[in-house]
Structure 1
Amino acid sequence: MQSNWTFWIDVGGTFTDCIGRDPRGNIHRIKVLSSDTSPIIAIRELMQLPDHTPIGKVSVSLGTTRGTNALLQRNGQPVAMLITKGFSDLLDIGTQARPDLFALNIQKHKPLHNHVIEINERLDANGQVLEALDLHQVQTQLGQLKERGYKSLAVCLLHSYLNDDHEQQIAKLAHEMGFDQVSVSSELSPTIKALDRFDTAVIDAYLSPVIRHYMANLRKSLGAIKVMTSAGALVDSEIFAGKDSLLSGPAGGVVGFAHAAEQAGFQQAIGFDMGGTSTDVSRFDGRYEYQYAGEIDGIRVVTPMLAIETVAAGGGSICDFDGQRLTVGPDSAGAHPGPACYGKDGPLAITDINLFNGKIDPARFPFALDVNAVTLKLQALRDRMDQNMSLHQIADGFTRVANLKMASAIKRISTARGYDPTDHVLVAFGGAAAQHACAIARSLHIREILLHPLAGVLSAHGISMANVKRFAEKTILKPLNEQTLKTLQTTVKQLAKTLYEQVLAEGVAPSDIDEPMQLLDLRYAGQQTAITIAKPADGAWAGAFEQMHTQLYGHAHLDREIQIVTLRVEVTGNMPKPVTLTQKSVNRRPKPARMSTVYFDALPHDTACFERADLQPGDRLIGPAIIHEDLSTIVIDPGWTATVNEQFDLILNDQSPHLQDLDQTTQCDPIRLELFNNHFTHIAVQMGLTLQKTSLSVNVKERLDFSCAILDSHGDLVVNAPHIPVHLGAMGATVRGLLEHVSDIRPGDSYLSNNPDLGGSHLPDLTVITPVFDPTGKQLQFFTASRAHHAEIGGKRPGSTFPFAKNLAEEGVVFSNLRLMREGHFDETSLRNTLTSGAYPSRAPDENIADIRAALAANTLGSRELQSLIAMHSWPVVHAYMGHIRDAASKQCQAAISRIIDGQYRFEDKLDDGSPLAVAIDIHGDKMAVDFTGTGPVNDNAFNANRAVVESAILYCMRCIINEDIPLNGGVMEPIQIILPQCMLNPPKCDDPTQHAAVAAGNVELSQRVVDMFFGALGIMAGSQGTMNNFIFGNQQFGYYETICGGSGGGPDFDG
């Protein structure tokens, strides 16, 4: 028998969940409103102690959102950053990525630090000292910081992950001078990548004092506390670091669902945690999935974190109609005013929809819910839609859209990583998850759902199941071979010894400490993205890596060097776990407490309602059914059954054989329009992730200069993932160029093109096109396409972007629909011969081929996902909605044009050499004509573009003007006529590259001027910098290409 109480607490943003075990071993639970003292309040409530009575000796472990809230609300400790001289603006510049691709009034993420001090010191890329540290000057600088009131420092020196001596000297001096918090980048993240390491140091310095103060106050009443880290591990509160606090709350849910699944006998599980504003999903297969770097609210952080995918869909997600489609989120009703049913004139939200459909019992809410307010909101929305639909059909539509968003998040952690979701059980927890679990599981073909008896407080339960765990890492950057592995063993032993001592210091008995686990981050030489591989039982690291690479991306480079990027070591100390209650099953059908009418698929069903407290092991329920419990409501859809197992879990099973969508109507409706829009966009985005992670070109893996698209059988764009503006909409012309010039397109083929006369832009942008046929191989159904900028494709200068090129041949290798794949077989010989032939061959053919394979992998993924979509909905339905989505985009573009006053709008510009650019935009109702007459003639250098570049620029401009989340496709351009005479924006076509105008600068310079002129003519914003600032260098062996951002013009209501 325990002599003291033990508590496991999850402090969320709104509520605090507490599970307590009394000295007799009985389990108690409570939910209270979150506050600074909510853990103490919850403990007093469970122990039934008056306010001023000392709590006494208790054991407390908790997870908290305190760090996350401090970050989101920007109320952390003021921080001064110490950085190598010359790099004071590094975190301000960041990666140059825009937070919103289509926002004209750009709101940059502000760095967390308040002040920067430049330190006179410098190490080279090997960690050798180039300039010694001037410690006397540092002392003076720190004294000035003290005078200004700074107490928290982030020490961030270049290459300190290789040599931490300078950082350690500064840290020692800062501690001696009395600074409260000194976060040292090389201690927090001893790995390559300065931006990530420095951001981590700053966020740690920003949050650690807040966390430390919060924990100190709790310890006054509770004594020693263990805290959940982002990695799902427990740590003493006195050493809990700010960088490890950001997923402290959600991590408990991951550990909780993983334990629940294992206890119920499931080997693979997907966690589904649906809250008020968002939904978290994660995966477990006997080992937790980690990510070792991430970004939260624009701040990069490098630390072990459980891999959690978050989507902006929750009970508070706002439901609306944008004129074409039903939309859910990303905005939330929040707690104030809350959903419409709260009676505070809030917006329609998913909670309202569940209430309206009978899935929430208003009598069980802690305050009165206004169902009539929901009805009025739905009626008003139906009037706007002008559709012959019942209110329940509209409500069902919102449910389906929300479910699809959440199902897409589950796909991103399963199918996108090479795992089949049908092999998993879905573990639902959180306030709203059990109301949506059946529909989401069915959409993913998951046949089983697990609902733990503590599902409403599963994050707190997870904390009770967590262990003490410590992590260490070291950058290696060496080839994977026997010699390297042998050398690493000394490092492994050193790191493991340090971690073992840290776990011992947490009070874990030596017998409860597991053997250290070794992992390696591996990648092919030249890749950016590494794959973390746990040490294989047979020690075959290369085989394990190649198997995982194939599982993730569909291919492996068997002849390419594998590189060890990072060594990782983990040591786990096992903590005592609560005893799980069990009871033998009896086979019975319990009687419902009452009957209710609940709507499923917009149809009413007589539904049995049960109390979970009344259910016993062996009970079996047949859906539809509602199960009420203290902290949540469980909805069992028609076609599902539920059984209570011996641990009091509810196991739901899908008994329905109908996995195909039975609605075969092809007429457009706003519900399915949004569903298919989400389907198509999700596929294109996943294609892009595959391309980015497997490419070798720095332009793809870091600059993200690529784009992926889905096109119909005529080459009309269905959806273009919003990857980079200059590629938007351009691949339609490339596919149409293929259809016009190649007559024998066959199943299993893929083609390569960069010819500007066939829809290309400039030669470094290589487009891989994959046609997809029906199962018979006779009907061409659609195309998937990927365009990526290769850092090197030949030409007179490295980087293949020579501003003074006189013709296309001087810019590199030209591909005109080269057949890459012949009936499923990769024709590397033809590809390599083309890359290495001609007057100016590629300087990096191996890298080109690897990146083309990456594009093929992306296309294959897209094709496979589209075929799955057809299998679910049928080809006629999918084909119809390809057209409906284009029509919807066209109507939204027409609506945006009609808001502009009729008339002609003109703008003129000049290149640096005086070449004129001109545009006249004529608006007539909902139609637009864009005329570039007056633009200068074809240049005798590389400053020429083509129609594809111009169309991409205009598509981007229109998407900015529409200012709504619409599908990017050819429909946007349908109301727009482009008049493009022969000029520098449209040089004459020519089959001979030596006679064809050079075009390298068209993509990077003239595209910017087209945007400036378009916005300038309409008075939307002033001209921006008008250039991409391409910085290129190299030699005959390589070419490097970098784009440096410039300024952005001001608008009518915002500064530039």
Structure 2
Amino acid sequence: MSGTRVGVEVGGTFTDLVAIGPDGSLQVAKVPSTPSRPDEGALNAIEAAGLDLAEVGDLVHGSTVATNAILERKGARVMLVTTEGMRDILYIQRHNRRRIYDLAYAKPEPVVRRSDVIEASERVGAEGAVVTPLDVDATLERIAARLSEDDSFGAVAICFLNAFVAPDHEQRMADAIRGRFQHLKVTCSSDVCREFREYERASTTALAAYVQPVIDAYLGRFSEALSARGHRGNFSVMQSNGGRLPAEGMARSAITALFSGPAAGVVGAARQAARSGFGNIITFDMGGTSTDVCLVRDGQPDLAASTEIDGLPVKTPVIDIATVGAGGGSIIWIDDGGLLRAGPESAGADPGPACYGRGGERATITDCHLVRGTIRAETFLGGDMKLDKAAAEKVLSPVAEWLGLSLEEAADAAIRVAEASIVRAIQRISTERGHDPRDFALAPFGGAGPMLACRIAEELGIGSVIVSPAAGVMSAYGLLASDFVHFESRTHQLRLDAAAEPDIRHVIANVAEAAAAHLRMLGLQGAPSITISLDMRYVGQAFEIAVELPGDGGTARVDEIARLFAEAHHRVFEFDKAGGAAIEIVAFRARASVSPGAPPELSGAAGDGPREKTGLFERGQRQDALCGGRPAPGEAVEGPALIEDGTSTLLVASGWGGEVDDAGNLVLRRR
């Protein structure tokens, strides 16, 4: 791909940019985010990097716009059109209680008001046969009547019973609404989620409709700003499934943009670690607001078929990331029992940690790092951002006094509390799913991740830590390292036996072609690469697990599928039913991908290595450490040491050491 390649990722605290020129030169920028106008933060990063957008051939963007729209309830007013008798599906939800001892527990609030649900006279049976024909005219009149009462609607979500089997009623209703009410954005469940489980499908459709106008307006505004500054190259947007789509492709896929930033970081870390021969890694992304961790096996991140946001289910493939509220901006506090806590409340970008000098009045993890010496005020962000140590000490003093500790001891204790939360998150995606973390390397990134990596690895028994160049902007690099990706899924229940093999191959071929056709429709060149996974279970089980088939899945035999399922089931549940127990396939999922070209290499310029001396307090001890820039390839470094590259600070803890390899990664091992 010709021209400079640029990735811009808007986070909760900082907006990161990575630009890689045609000659392989690397340029990075990190500027404070503007939560109320995230596109301004992205443009500020472009300006800070001094880029000529006319020379940019490929610009990839990730942001929290869709996520924030849901969390802050700032999406469009949505009308839900559903099958007669199903109007309460978003409110009944499931019968489980998330907090079983909370007497005041209330179910998550849907994004659609009950008064905004329109029932349509129609019904399709579970096998796809029409039970009650769709009455389009009567439904349109009900919609018109509701609009006459309130004209603030911006979107319509259509979710008919069993539309995942036969979508004709939904598509006809959508065409009729678009024809009569052109100002409304219309989203069909059969376009965003062709799978069973009515509540989850309805929730996903409602959320997709809720964020679609927000995403359309945001991308339209951002595209115009880029064009006004001379950009004529490709513009694409990251998805939470680890792939990107051209910006125009998000017109029907806004819901896939929910967790684009964390997903991009995982993709970038996996690509960079693979260059050093590490296929099995645990990614550890600690930013300003939260920490995200993910398991990567054989170079591929684990995927989950669904996720949740604000307690509401979203049934669309996402990179399987566990998140905890432990970031650089996480607030330090004392709970009702007198115990020290870190997060989940965050100071965010505004006002941010007290040491930023923007009015923060409560101690954060970043303030603690500054107090204990693992961040140096004069070198933060390469010296471009000055920190106020006195302000950090002032806000930490009440906590230290309560605990009866010195400032350094209180800061060190707070960081260890945050470490414990992160260790627990990693255990959730490793040991609790049948994976031994000792079989993986830890790959930290984000502005704060490398400072805690060695100690977290120790707690988990991990022997290797791999830190990439410019680790603080890894999510922005991951945008450039991602392929164009689209997923299609179909619920189709089949008993796994020899007689079903032709049907299995037929459904695989159909879902694979649907995924590939979507990428071709977007004008992407090249034959898409296809991978197939099946949602499977033993007959009688209520939930299923994903089983990935080898190659493109087209030649997989029943006995091989059964073996792969038994292995996956044993890994997750520590048992499998030998002796021919009945197995069934519940859903088929196809991933189609097209590469935009070889991913650019991330290689940071070596500094002078750690040469200066500094003091720090860590693990209850005052230590003398060397500090400075990143070592040159082949140069060894031993802990304790601080390595600063302008995007993040790496603490090489005592008892750890390593060197920079030929790929530019600093590989640390426990001595």
TM-score by length of 2: 0.90
How many Å separate the matches in 2 of 1:106 and 1:503?
Answer: 44
Equivalent in the alignment of 2:135: 134
What is aligned with 1:362? 377
Cα shift readout 1:489-545 (whole Å, capped 9, x = no counterpart): 12222222232233334444435x32x222211111122221111114774111111
> Partner amino acid for 1:482?
A
Q: Which of 536, 555, 576 does residue 556 from structure 1 map onto?
A: 576
Task: Choose the corresponding residue for 2:332, options 309, 319, 330.
Answer: 319
Q: Are 2:597 and 1:576 equivalent residues in the alignment?
A: yes
Corresponding letter in the other structure for 2:245:
V
CA contact (8 A) 2:481 2:600 kept: no
CA shift, 1:397, in A, is: 2.5
Unaligned ranges ≥5, structure 1: 656-1056
Q: Distance in 1 between matches of 2:456 and 2:394?
A: 28
Q: Is the 8 A contact 1:13 1:69 kept in 2?
A: no
CA gap of 1:25–1:435, structure 2 versus 1, over 3 A, is closer
SS in 2 for 1:36: helix
The answer for the alignment partner of 2:429 in structure 1 is 413
How far 1:182 sits from its partner (Å)?
1.0
1:353 correspondence with 2:351: no
Cα distance change, pair 57–314 in 1 and its aligned pair in 2 (3 A): closer
Q: Which residue of 2 aligns with 1:43?
A: 46
> Residue 367 and residue 103 in structure 1: after superposition, are their counterparts in 2 closer, same or farther (change >3 A)?
farther
Which residues of structure 2 form unaligned runs of 5+?
A: none
Match of 1:280 in 2: 292
Query: 2:239 matched to which residue of 1?
Result: 229
TM-score normalised over the length of structure 1:
0.58
Q: In structure 1, what is the Cα distance between the partners aligned to 2:604 and 2:395? A: 47
Alignment-derived partner of residue 209 in structure 2 = 205
1:528 to 542, 564, 576: 542
Give yes or no for contact 2:324–2:425 (8 Å, CA) kept in 1: yes
How far the C-alpha of 1:650 sits from its partner, in A, is 0.9
- Confirm or deny that 1:566 pairs with 2:582: no
Higher RCO (C-alpha under 8 Å, 6+ residues apart): 2
Deviations 1:133-159 (A, max 9, x none): 111201212333454323411001111
Residue 299 of structure 1 is matched in structure 2 by 312
Secondary structure of residue in 1 paired with 2:76: coil
Residue identity matched to 1:94: Q
How many Å apart are 1:7 and its aligned residue?
1.6
The structural deviation recorded for 1:423 is 1.0
Look up the equivalent residue of 1:259 and give its one-letter code.
R
Instruction: Report the alpha carbon displacement of residue 645 of structure 1 after superposing the two structures with TM.
Output: 1.0
In the other structure, the counterpart of 2:654 is 638
Residues 822-851 of structure 1: per-residue CA shift (max 9 Å, x gap): xxxxxxxxxxxxxxxxxxxxxxxxxxxxxx
Query: Do the aligned partners of residues 628 and 581 (structure 1) sit closer, same or farther apart at CA in structure 2, a change above 3 Å counting?
Result: closer
Partners of 1:467 and 1:76 lie apart in 2 by 28
Give 1:341 deviation, angstroms: 3.5
Residues 418 and 551 of structure 1 are in contact (CA less than 8 Å); yes or no, is this contact kept in structure 2?
yes
- The SS at the match of 2:577 is coil
The 1:46–1:100 alpha-carbon spacing in structure 2 relative to 1, beyond 3 Å, is same
User: How many angstroms apart in 1 are the aligned matches of 2:408 and 2:602?
Assistant: 42
Give 3-state SS (helix, strand or coil) of 2:17's partner.
strand
2:157 alignment partner AA: A
| Preserved CA contact (<8 Å) 1:99 1:109 | no
Looking at structure 2, the residues matched to 40 and 382 of structure 1 have their Cα atoms a distance apart, in angstroms, of 40
- After superposition, residues 279-678 of structure 1 pair within 5 angstroms as 279-286=291-298, 287-322=300-335, 323-342=337-356, 344=359, 346-365=361-380, 366-385=384-403, 389-510=405-526, 513-514=528-529, 516-536=530-550, 539=557, 540-559=560-579, 560-580=581-601, 592-612=610-630, 615-655=631-671
Offset at 1:442? 0.6
Give the Cα–Cα distance (whole angstroms) in 1 for the partners of residues 369 and 567 of structure 2.
44
- 1:470 is displaced (CA, Å) by 2.0
Based on CA coordinates, which of the two structures has the bigger radius of gyration? 1
Q: Residue 86 of structure 1: CA displacement?
A: 2.1
- Shift of residue 124, structure 1, vs aligned partner: 3.1
What is the identity, as a one-letter code, of the residue corresponding to 2:158?
A: V
Deviation at 1:24, TM superposition (A): 4.2
Contact persistence 1:583–1:646 (CA under 8 A) = no
More moved, 389-398 vs 268-277:
389-398
| Separation in 1, partners of 2:385, 2:41 | 21
After superposition, the C-alpha distances for 1:904-949 in whole angstroms (9 at most, x for unaligned) are xxxxxxxxxxxxxxxxxxxxxxxxxxxxxxxxxxxxxxxxxxxxxx
Percentage of matched positions with identical amino acids: 33
CA distance in structure 1 between the partners assigned to 2:322 and 2:307 by the alignment: 11
The code of the aligned residue for 2:301 comes to Y
Q: State the match for 1:844 in structure 2.
A: none
Distance 1:347 1:118 in 2: 50
Shift of 1:473: 1.1
The C-alpha deviation readout for 1:267-289, integer Å capped at 9, x for no partner, is: 20110000122100001112221
Does the alignment pair 1:172 with 2:175? yes
- DSSP-derived class of the 1:160 partner: coil
1:431-479 residue CA offsets vs partner (Å, 9 max, x unmatched): 1101100100010011111111121111111111111122111112221
- C-alpha RMSD of matched pairs (Å): 2.5
- TM-superposed deviation, 1:265: 0.6
**1:574–1:479 Cα change, 3 Å:** same
Output the amino acid matched with 1:644.
V
Measure, in 2, the Cα distance between the counterparts of 1:544 and 1:578: 31
The range that moved more, 236-245 or 22-31, is 22-31
Task: Please give the residue correspondences for 1:1016-1035 in structure 2 after superposition, counting only pairs within 5 Å.
Answer: none
CA distance in 2, matches of 1:312, 1:38: 23
1:120 aligns with 2:121: yes
Corresponding residue number in structure 2 for 1:32: 31
* Deviation of the 1:259 alpha carbon: 0.4
2:20 and 2:600 in contact (8 A); partners too: no
Asked whether the 8 Å contact 1:518–1:535 carries over to 2, the reply is yes
Give how far 1:163 is off: 1.8
Alignment check: 8 A CA contact 1:508 1:574 kept: no
Is the CA contact 2:125–2:162 (under 8 Å) kept in the aligned structure 1?
A: yes
C-alpha deviation, 1:368, in angstroms: 4.6
- 1:21 maps onto 2:20 in alignment: yes
Aligned to 1:761: none
Deviation at 1:381, TM superposition (A): 3.2
